Amino acid sequence: MVMIEARALHLSFDGDRDVVAGLDLALEGGRLAALVGPNGAGKTTLLKALAGLLEPRSGEIMLDGRSLEGFKPRERARRIATVPQEGRALQGTTVSEFVLGGRYAWRRPWSPLTAADEAAVLAALESADLADRREDRVEELSGGERQRALFARALAQDAEILLVDEPTAALDPRHQLWVFDRLAEQADRGRAVLVVTHDLNLASQYADTMHLMAEGRLVASGAASEVLSAEVLEGLYGPDFLIGEERSARFGEPRPFILPWRRGADRPPEEPPRGDPAAGV
Amino acid sequence: MKTNLALCLLTVAIVVFAAMRDDERRTPSGLAGEPPRRILPTTSDQVDMLSALVGPERVVAMPEQALTWSRVAEAEGWRSLPTFARFLAEFVLESEPDLVLVSPFAEPDSVARIRESGLRTVELPTRRNLDHVIAALRRLGEIVGETGRAGELIADLEARRDALVASRTRSGEGPRPRALSYTNFGSGGWSAGCDTTIHAAMRLAGLDNALGDRVGHFEFSFEELLAVDPDLIIVSGAFGESADTIEALLRSEPGLAGVQAVVKGRILRLPPRLASAGSQELLAAAELLAREAARVLERTAFENDR
Amino acid sequence: MSRRARIARPILLVLLLALVLASLVVGRTDSLSFTTAMRGAAAAVGLGSPLEGSLQAIVELRLWRVLTAAGVGAALALSGALLQGVFRNGLASPGVIGVSSGASLGAATAILLLGGEASMSIGESAGRFAPLIVTLAAFLGAAAAVGIVVVLASRRGRVSMPALLLTGIAVNACCGGIQAAIQAFSLRDYQLIRAIFTWTFGSLDDKSATQVAVVWSALALGLLVLPFVSTELDLLAGGEEDARSLGVRTGRSRALAVGAAALIAAAAVAVAGQIAFVGLIVPHLLRGLFGRGHRTLLPVCVLGGAVFLVGAEFLQLSVLGHSALRPGTFMSLIGGPFFIVLLLRQKKEFMSW
């Protein structure tokens, strides 16, 4: 089921140059979608627009058949949660206070904390493996823990759409996998999850759908094996990579993986070394 | 949350309380028909005038500044009166007066609080010349029930004024000397135009205010002093010996070598008490000015014929 | 909320009550006995018979004085805490960024137009509404000053420290200059000069019930706004976009907070004149005790500000008696050195701006 949909979307910061130009994208519930592409492709910009933080120059983002711009901020935040790349907090804020920030959209100004709020915060802390650190201050957390705190806050928001920006940039491999496990978990619970990432391999082994973006447009969308074809990749990144295939634990079947690999100037680009990407999976 | 609610309630309670109390006024306690026995003057000019009409036993307190600025500064019974530093309602109320003399310059908030508390207040109008002073004395005499003494005092003042005018006409019909009032405490000079007590004193003394076309007190530069070049300069220091300082300043300034009054030493000193007296002391100031001007002009007269 | 905060709040409240009562005992004139002061206070709220002679009036004068001091202290501290939250900068305060001088200029302009009696609450004529008009004018001045700061010193919700301070200097200079010019041109009118002088140096003496009502009403409005800005200010610390993604109406929250800060500071300035540093010192001290979370900090600043100014006045009156200094003067005496200490402690930080 389509939960949020962008139609003929044009985005720009200053009104001059379109960072995103004429893009269509739909996110479905129960699916983990990955948005990949080279630097400057407009991925983060698109994510902000989907989160309602950037007004489209033209085109529309539809949520429940209504334009996203018509939603009140709280109403919108109850439907869409964002995990930014990095977050700051007021000095001295504890982890659980920080995660409580995710409940903002559900609370009323004069009313005290409800049981639902507390339950949501606790559940989110547990999902993010931060339950034992909840009384610690945010500034005492390591980079990875901070990332998890941001994730927990988005979970506490209890929104059906989860937009995640570069969650693994600063993490070691074990935690990278941990993050994507959690994202897949959320998709399996029926949420629509969109993750922006540079890591094609994580995207490939976890994402139900991959969207490949370049210069403000979608170049390819679909299953990982379709999107990560040698032709498409070469067009985007040049010839210096290796492509392979390995079984994905999430899907129980093989998915492509990519390795940046300098081929050297003396050797002209040729057939990809292994397999036939055009054949698919 | 709860703190905020509690604070809101507290705040609203105070607002409601204040708003309710705002309507309450006490009726004045002192009866207008009876002469007041516990009078409270609030400026040294008022003390001047009051001291000519009643004894210190009918005054409950006076402003601290009266010890420096009033004619009663040396009078035994008056010196020992309680004093207050600032005109504030609490000081006034503490002395439990039955009449408060307020000046038009008094802090309106304080006057309002005093009236609200039920005390009888009388505002004496500002006095910038002898006629004002006489009118104020007449009024004060009625208020304190001493019309007789006020009448005598006024008659005396009028007689002295006439004597002053008479001596002036005796001394000839020549042009009046142009005088200029000057004060400077190191942070720039000040002078006065018409509608000031010093102006009134000059006129009574037979002098012309060189700046009579201007109004009130204003800042006054050396350049203007050079341009005006008065016949006489009247200096008065507010603090102790500062008349000396002002005179020394005028003499030491090389740029003022062209000012006749400075060169010829035609500098008159007025005791600070008399320099801005809005009371019968105004006439004393005029008499002193007339004497001093005659003396200085005579002493330097031969230089005029140069 | 920390345990320290839970304990310290009632302590502040009790301290405030104690100081308020003590301020009825000690005043400009001789101290009263505690029982006399209490009987007078009870009579003022309609319990028991009034004290004999002028004693009742004296107790009530002290009551209005302490209520003014408490209201003004609370207003300035809350205003400072709100501004520091909005600008995410501990140096923002009504005095530093020009809100106070803007309000003062607004008040002076109103006085100029209405005449020197404008500060009088008791209207023989229409003066009854004058404090409200003066407060409104002060609010306009304060709002204009904040507007200038917002436009000049912030970009996309972010405020640069040097820009904030420089803007504050500029706004203070402009307001001070215009006010000095007003004073110079109205030199003839002693009434005006005196009223404007009072605004410049501050006064808590001889305030009317109306003036007390004005400052506390503004404070009540400010308190009503707090639930709509406290959490929002906490979340805004994470950045504009982050707060918006959580559902915060950032523009509205900031406008509400700044508007409330301007209004309460303006009411305080309109009633008691410029009293510097309360808005800077109190939030700073309380942040150390209660942390930075605005839901705790803002209400506590109301209590702390009241305690601070009432306490300072009580101290002054007990030691110096009738020659106690004007509150603005006294605050500058303590506040200046405090500001220097504050800068010394953060020297490393601000050297890097």
Q: What is the 3-state secondary structure (H, E, C) of C129-192?
A: HHHHHHHHHHHHHHHHHHHHHHHHHEECCEECHHHHHHHHHHHHHHHHHHHHHHHHHCCCCHHH
pLDDT of B262 > 50? The answer is yes
pLDDT of B303 > 70? The answer is no
Burial A227-249 (b: 16+ CB within 10 A, else e): bbbbebbbebeeeebebbbeebe
Q: Is C344 exposed, middle or buried (0-12, 13-18, 19+ CB in 10 A)?
A: exposed
| Nearest CA-CA distance, residue C249 and chain A, Å | 6
| Nearest CA-CA distance, residue C68 and chain A, Å | 28
Task: Flag whether residue C23 sits within 8 Å of chain B, measured between CB atoms.
Answer: no
Contact A93 C293 (CB under 8 A): yes
In this prediction, residues C21-48 reach a mean pLDDT of: 85
What are the tens digits of pLDDT across the range B193-220?
998 999 999 999 999 999 999 988 888 8
Task: Flag whether residue C239 sits within 8 Å of chain A, measured between CB atoms.
Answer: yes
Q: Report chain C's C-alpha Rg in angstroms.
A: 20
Q: Look at residue B305 in the predicted model and tell me its pLDDT.
A: 46
Contact C244 A93 (CB under 8 A): no
Which residues on chain C are in Cβ contact (under 8 Å) with A77? 245-247
Characterise B161 by phi-psi region: left (phi > 0), alpha (psi -120 to 50), beta (else).
alpha
- ipTM higher than threshold 0.85: yes
Q: Look at residue C127 in the predicted model and tell me its pLDDT.
A: 46
Q: Which chains touch B (3 or more CB pairs under 8 A)?
A: C
In this prediction, residues C146-160 reach a mean pLDDT of: 76
Q: Look at residue A123 in the predicted model and tell me its pLDDT.
A: 94
pLDDT of A281 > 50? The answer is no
Task: Flag whether residue B2 sits within 8 Å of chain C, measured between CB atoms.
Answer: no
pLDDT of A276 > 60? The answer is no
Q: How many CB atoms lie within 10 A of CB B20?
A: 13
| Nearest CA-CA distance, residue B77 and chain C, Å | 23
CA dist., res. B193 & res. B177, Å (int): 16
CA A75 to chain centre: 21
What are the tens digits of pLDDT across the range C71-117?
999 999 999 999 999 888 887 888 888 888 898 888 888 877 776 55
Q: Look at residue C71 in the predicted model and tell me its pLDDT.
A: 96
Which ranges of B205-280 would DSSP assign to H, the alpha helix? 222-228, 242-252, 260-263, 272-275
Helix (H) or strand (E) holding B232: strand B232-235
Who among C228, C234, C237 is closest to A109 (CB)?
C228
Task: Flag whether residue C251 sits within 8 Å of chain A, measured between CB atoms.
Answer: no
CA dist., res. B117 & res. A212, Å (int): 83
Task: Flag whether residue C227 sits within 8 Å of chain A, measured between CB atoms.
Answer: yes
Q: Look at residue B260 in the predicted model and tell me its pLDDT.
A: 86
pLDDT of B140 > 50? The answer is yes
| Inter-axis angle of helices C55-87 and C278-290, nearest 10 | 70
pLDDT band of residue C334 (cuts 50, 70, 90) is confident
* Six-digit token string for C227: 């639930």
Q: Is A48 exposed, middle or buried (0-12, 13-18, 19+ CB in 10 A)?
A: buried
Q: Look at residue C122 in the predicted model and tell me its pLDDT.
A: 34
Q: Look at residue B42 in the predicted model and tell me its pLDDT.
A: 92
User: What is the average pLDDT score of chain A?
Assistant: 88
In this prediction, residues B246-251 reach a mean pLDDT of: 84
> Cα–Cα–Cα angle for C50, C51, C52, nearest 5°?
120
* Six-digit token string for A19: 């960072």
CA dist., res. C127 & res. C279, Å (int): 30
More confident position, B175 or C115: B175
What are the tens digits of pLDDT across the range A83-137?
998 888 888 899 999 999 999 999 988 778 899 999 999 999 999 999 999 899 9
Main-chain dihedrals φ then ψ at residue C257, nearest 5 degrees: -65, -45
Q: What is the DSSP letter of A94?
A: B
CA dist., res. A116 & res. A110, Å (int): 16
The 3-state secondary structure of B11-69 reads: HHHHHHHHHHHCCCCCCCCCCCCCCCCCEECCCHHHHHHHHHHCCHHHECCEECCHHHH
Query: Nearest Cα to A216, choosing from A56, A10, A61?
Result: A10
CA dist., res. C214 & res. C199, Å (int): 16
Q: How many CB atoms lie within 10 A of CB A5?
A: 18
Residue A175 three-state SS: helix
Q: Look at residue A106 in the predicted model and tell me its pLDDT.
A: 93
Task: Flag whether residue C349 sits within 8 Å of chain A, measured between CB atoms.
Answer: no
What are the tens digits of pLDDT across the range B84-125?
888 889 889 988 899 999 987 787 788 888 888 888 999 888
User: pTM of the predicted model, to two decimals?
Assistant: 0.86
pLDDT of C119 > 50? The answer is no
